[in-house]
Amino acid sequence: MNAIVTGATGGIGKAITEVFAKNGINVWACASRKNETFENEIKQLADDNNVWIKPVYFSLTDENDVKNGVKSILNEKMPIDILVNNAGVSPRSLLVMTPIDEIRKVMEINFTAQMLVTQLVAKKMMRQKSGNIVNVSSVSGSLYPEQGGLAYGCSKAALSFSSRVLARELADYNIRVNTVSPGFVETSMWTGRSEAYLQEAKSRSVMKRMGKPEEIANVVFFLTTPAASYITGTNIDLEGGGRVAFPQKEE
């Protein structure tokens, strides 16, 4: 089995690459910036698990770059069994403080360019008459409208909704399309937030902790297996039970 994982150098993408490799799945590990540390890590991971993992670099901000990157994969003429649209950015700012081009850029990276990747890969999967697509969205695009989270939340809402539409468009070709929506996961996405913010966020969560990247990756992997053969067009929230409702306790 062969998989494309975008955002493979980030916390969750790296964990997805790892769980795939450990389960015998080869990976085209995609990111925008060449990363030698990552290349050394995936070489070791591939050797340890007797699979191949190839770095592929293209930026989701540039349509030609995306097309060339995906075409370089298609040109290898190998089956593509799995696509995980995991790359993403999460800038925050209030609408009135945000240049409209910033919103366009977030939509481009988190949604539009991912639809271009999906379109190119889905055509191949349709010819194969098989495939699995998993979109990594966020609970910020569904459950929790947050101040400053307009561009991110709307881009993720669009990505999640795309899974429901594409499940219907692709079911006849034996292609399943699903979404996972993480909550609050230990990755560099939270770098820069104060310790006080992180503690507060943990204390407001049902499980009183952040998720680990592998806890997201394991569910992504599950969705691509025959064990999930009757699941398509659905979303799984991965947020350890969610945020506690106010008030937390009767005084």
Ligand X SMILES: NC(=O)c1ccc[n+]([C@@H]2O[C@H](COP(=O)([O-])OP(=O)(O)OC[C@H]3O[C@@H](n4cnc5c(N)ncnc54)[C@H](OP(=O)(O)O)[C@@H]3O)[C@@H](O)[C@H]2O)c1
The residues with which 133 forms a beta bridge, in sequence order, are: 83, 177
Report the candidate in 41, 32, 7, 3 with the shortest Cα–Cα distance to residue 20. Answer: 3
Amino acid at 246: F
How far, in Å, CA of 208 to CA of 245, rounded?
13
List of E strands, the chain: 2-5, 26-31, 53-57, 82-85, 131-136, 175-182, 235-238
Q: Tokens 């820069």 appear where?
A: 192
| For ligand X, the closer CB: 82 or 185 | 185
- Report, in this order, helix, strand and coil percent for the chain, each rounded to 5: 50, 15, 35
| For ligand X, the closer CB: 6 or 205 | 6
Cβ contacts of 122 within 8 Å, gap of 6 or more = 83, 131, 133, 166, 170, 175
Catalytic residue among 57, 144, 152, 230: 152
Binding positions for ligand X, 96-155, rule CB under 6 A: 109, 136, 138
Stretch that binds ligand X, among 55-63, 74-82, 122-130, 222-230 (CB under 6 A): 55-63
Provide, rounded to whole angstroms, the least separation between the CB of residue 200 and ligand X: 15
How far, in Å, CA of 218 to CA of 189, rounded?
19
Please select the residue that binds ligand X; options are 22, 49, 54, 59, rule is CB under 6 A: 59
Q: Please indicate whether residue 152 is annotated as part of the active site.
A: yes
How far, in Å, CA of 240 to CA of 172, rounded?
34
Stretch that binds ligand X, among 28-36, 120-128, 200-208, 225-233 (CB under 6 A): 28-36
Structure tokens at 101: 């081009």
CA of residue 12 relative to chain centroid, distance: 8
* 248 near ligand X, judged by CB under 6 A: no
Q: Which helix (H) or strand (E) holds 177?
A: strand 175-182
Amino acid at 91: P
Amino acid at 26: N
Stretch that binds ligand X, among 31-39, 122-130, 160-168, 201-209 (CB under 6 A): 31-39
Q: Which residue is nearest to ligand X (CB)?
A: 10
Provide, rounded to whole angstroms, the least separation between the CB of residue 221 and ligand X: 15
Binding mask 171-210 for ligand X (x = CB under 6 A): -----------x-xx-xxx---------------------
* 37 near ligand X, judged by CB under 6 A: no
| For ligand X, the closer CB: 188 or 194 | 188
Provide, rounded to whole angstroms, the least separation between the CB of residue 246 and ligand X: 22
Provide, rounded to whole angstroms, the least separation between the CB of residue 243 and ligand X: 13
Please select the residue that binds ligand X; options are 4, 5, 11, 56, rule is CB under 6 A: 11
Residues that bind ligand X (CB under 6 A): 6-13, 31-33, 59-61, 86-90, 109, 136, 138, 182, 184-185, 187-189
- Report, as residue numbers or ranges, the catalytic residues: 152
